[in-house]
């Protein structure tokens, strides 16, 4: 699904800042991959590269065997502040992408109604984002992304501003969606526990300019009860140690 080959990215002109250095990784169709590392290591930049919003100075990125030349209709991105339009209701935020694609009006209504019901938002469809909690806003962002039936879902620290219980609830919601739809999922996180709960694979980044030191296989991912297992805590300890080692190597 995704092939990142020796990619480097810098921002700025003469006084440029290198965000990523020689990044390579592959994500198979239907896999879930977490990107984790210290702040400023280029995790979000890699996500934006995959989404076709920025372009590398070196290397190449393929999505579904095609060179990424810009945003794709079958790729959905959820950003940190959810990207909701404050002047639109929940219904209008969720249906927007379908309107832009000029989907049949009856199918638009059916799809949005179904998603709002599944995500517990049916009673809030006429509310505006500022009338919702953070968790509800996140559900709206997820509904808008899923309405487009993407083959690839990208999420940039989607739960970072939420309290612990709401975060865990939404993590379980994303897990359910992933298990049901088997879409490919790539997400950025600073949370070791979130990476281990939602990532089949976990890419460990060094401090910036970001490099991937290790990709951890996480076979326990996919079970809701995974959090309560010994394997989960072992994996969290392993990821924490790899992150610490990466910071020491860059110092």
Residue ranges per domain, the chain? Answer: 2-74+152-250, 87-149
Residue-level pLDDT at 17: 77
Say if strands 32-36 and 184-189 run parallel, antiparallel, or are unpaired.
Answer: parallel
From residue 242, alpha-carbon distances to 31, 94, 248 in Å are: 22, 39, 10
- Containing H/E element for 196? helix 192-198
Measure the CA–CA gap between 63 and 52, rounded to whole angstroms: 10
Short-list 195, 185, 207, 208, CA closest to 239: 195
Residue-level pLDDT at 241: 94
Q: pLDDT per position in the chain (251 positions), as tens?
A: 899 999 999 887 655 778 899 999 999 999 999 999 998 888 999 999 999 999 998 999 999 999 999 999 899 998 877 789 999 999 999 999 888 888 788 888 998 998 898 888 999 999 999 999 988 998 898 899 888 889 999 999 888 878 888 888 888 888 988 988 889 999 999 999 999 999 999 999 998 788 999 999 999 999 889 999 999 999 999 999 999 887 755 54
Homologous superfamily in CATH for domain 2-74+152-250: P-loop containing nucleotide triphosphate hydrolases (3.40.50.300)
Token pair for 18: 């290198």
Token pair for 103: 């989907």
Q: Which residues contact 124 (CB under 8 A, 6 or more apart)?
A: 90, 116, 131, 132, 136
Measure the CA–CA gap between 235 and 85, rounded to whole angstroms: 38
Q: Please say whether the beta carbons of 195 and 239 come within 8 A.
A: yes
Residue-level pLDDT at 13: 60
């Amino acid at each position: 699904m995704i092939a990142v080959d020796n990619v480097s990215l810098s921002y700025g002109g003469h006084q440029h800042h290198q965000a990523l250095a020689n990044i390579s990784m592959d994500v198979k169709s239907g896999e879930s991959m977490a990107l984790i590392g210290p702040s400023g290591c280029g995790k979000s930049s890699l996500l934006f590269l995959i989404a076709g919003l920025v372009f590398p100075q070196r290397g190449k990125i393929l999505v579904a065997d095609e060179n990424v030349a810009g945003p794709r209709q079958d790729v959905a991105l959820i950003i940190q502040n959810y990207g909701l339009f404050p002047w639109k209701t929940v219904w209008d935020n969720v249906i927007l992408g379908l309107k832009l694609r000029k989907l049949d009006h009856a199918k638009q209504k059916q799809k949005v109604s179904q998603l709002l019901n599944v995500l517990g938002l049916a009673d809030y469809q006429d509310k505006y984002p500022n009338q919702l909690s953070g968790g509800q806003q996140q559900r709206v962002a997820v509904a808008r992304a899923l309405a487009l039936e993407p083959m690839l879902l990208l999420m940039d620290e989607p739960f970072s501003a939420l309290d612990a219980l709401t975060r865990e609830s939404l993590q379980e919601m994303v897990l359910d969606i992933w298990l049901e739809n088997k879409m490919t999922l790539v997400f950025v996180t600073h949370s070791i526990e979130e990476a281990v709960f939602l990532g089949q694979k976990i890419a460990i980044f060094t401090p910036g300019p970001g490099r991937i030191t290790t990709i951890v296989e996480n076979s326990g991912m996919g079970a809701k009860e995974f959090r309560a297992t010994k394997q989960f805590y072992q994996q969290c300890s392993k990821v924490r140690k790899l992150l610490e080692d990466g910071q020491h190597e860059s110092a």
